[in-house]
Amino acid sequence: MGSKNKLKRFKENETFPNVIQPKREDLVYGEFLLKGKWNETFFNNDNPIVLELGCGKGEYTVALAKKNPNKNFIGIDIKGARFWRGAKTAVEENLPNVAFVRSQIELIEYIFNENEVDEIWITFPDPQIKYKRTKHRLTNFDFLKRYNHILTKDGIVHLKTDSEFMHGYTLGLLHGLKYEVLYANHNVYKNEGSPEEVTSIQTFYENQYLEVGKPITYIKFKPN
């Protein structure tokens, strides 16, 4: 994407009512006013909150919001030029239950209060296969602790990925931590009974993977 296009999207993001772009210092030093008040201040309802982490173009965020008008959906990504597409679609289609936050995912505990989130979707994250990149893997021990902190007592995490490595790594970690694995599948499009919300929504990159016959894996789990 050209720099002019990026700048145009950054500017347009600033005009969207569903895009929040907090400064890092406001998050870290406790000055983010929506923390603990997302439903009260932003969505103006008491509906469950669902996050998509590393949301990219926001395809899952928008598609799930259309299917579930009784839930609030928030896509989080540091790359605003990417989620611009999802934010623009949500504005154009008048989806009041959609928001996007431009932030690093490791700051998630500064964005949401304890027990404020009901579900988390992690869709096609970078598996960070090299050992020295383990700290950036979105299902590592530290990230799981962060999710556990902001999730409600019965909160759920979904991981959908084309990476067998990420799938296996996560399953091993979950079993070691004694997290409850509610569903696990190495190829959701080849197995009957796969959840509808997993197979009916496909991202841009997912379509590319499917075209070359790459299996898509999925895990649904519940932290302790």
Cβ atoms within 10 Å of 141's Cβ, excluding its own: 12
The β-bridge relationship of strands 72-77 and 98-102 is parallel
In angstroms, rounded to a whole number, what is the distance separating the alpha carbons of residues 92 and 17? 12
In whole angstroms, how far apart are CA 66 and each of 51, 54, 59, 117?
A: 14, 19, 11, 19
Give the sheet arrangement for strand 117-123, strand by strand.
19-20, 98-102, 72-77, 49-53, 117-123, 151-161, 217-222, 180-185
Best CA proximity match to 112, nearest among 83, 82, 84, 152: 152
* 26 to 108, 110, 157: CA distances (angstroms): 13, 9, 27
Catalytic residue among 26, 46, 118, 126: 126
126 as an active site residue: the answer is yes
Task: Give me the active site residues, please.
Answer: 126
